[in-house]
Amino acid sequence: MAEHNLHSVAFPTLDQSLIDDLSRCSSVTMKTYRDGQTLFSVGDRDFKFFIVKSGEVEIVDHSGDEPKTVTVHLKGQFTGDVSHLTGNPAVVSAVARGDTEVYEVSGDTLRRILNQCPTAGDIILQAFIARRQLLRASADFTGLRVIGSRYSPDTFRVRDFLAKNRVLFT
């Protein structure tokens, strides 16, 4: 039951009035992507935040041996996680499924929205935190792979550095 609640917090659907409020709080850009076009890729820095207007956005995890669909965002849902706020690179990729229209928001604009639109900001922040929790709890997500002896001081330093910087790794 708790995982179901976490999933509903992680993947909310914004109603049109809330999306309109976001547009009033800050500038958002409408963009169209064709089927299979990439919105952002693993490792991208300063990647955009997207709210789906129409179509679908598939979130893909490439950390394992085979790419795996994490979720598919539908109309009113949005991409992103805490990496948008910390400046860390994207840990997943986003790909348009079918012709897709999205509201595109830069990182600076997203931070402005979080400050100026408290209702939407709370929903977005809670979703970001819940998504990271789900990703950490996933048995399928490996994140960055550190290869080395667990007794090696060098391996320990790398793992310690990654942990301090909140980079997901195995």
Question: Helices then strands (H, E): number in the chain?
Answer: 6, 5
- Greatest C-alpha distance within the chain: 55
pLDDT in tens, 70-101: 899 999 999 998 888 888 888 899 999 999 99
pLDDT in tens, 104-119: 998 888 988 888 888 8
The architecture of the domain spanning 2-141 is: Sandwich (2.60)
Residue at token pair 């790398």: 158
Residue among 91, 94, 93 at smallest CA distance from 144? 91
Query: Which of 26, 2, 3 lies closest to 107, judged by CA?
Result: 26
Q: Residues with Cβ < 8 Å from 141, sequence gap 6 or more?
A: 61, 63, 64, 135, 168
Query: How far apart are the C-alpha atoms of 34 and 162, rounded to whole Å?
Result: 36
Tens digit of each residue's pLDDT (9 = 90 or more) over 1-35: 455 688 899 999 999 988 888 877 777 889 999 99
**Over pLDDT 90: what percentage of the chain?**
39
Query: Is the confidence at residue 166, as pLDDT, over 70?
Result: no
Domain boundaries, the chain: 2-141
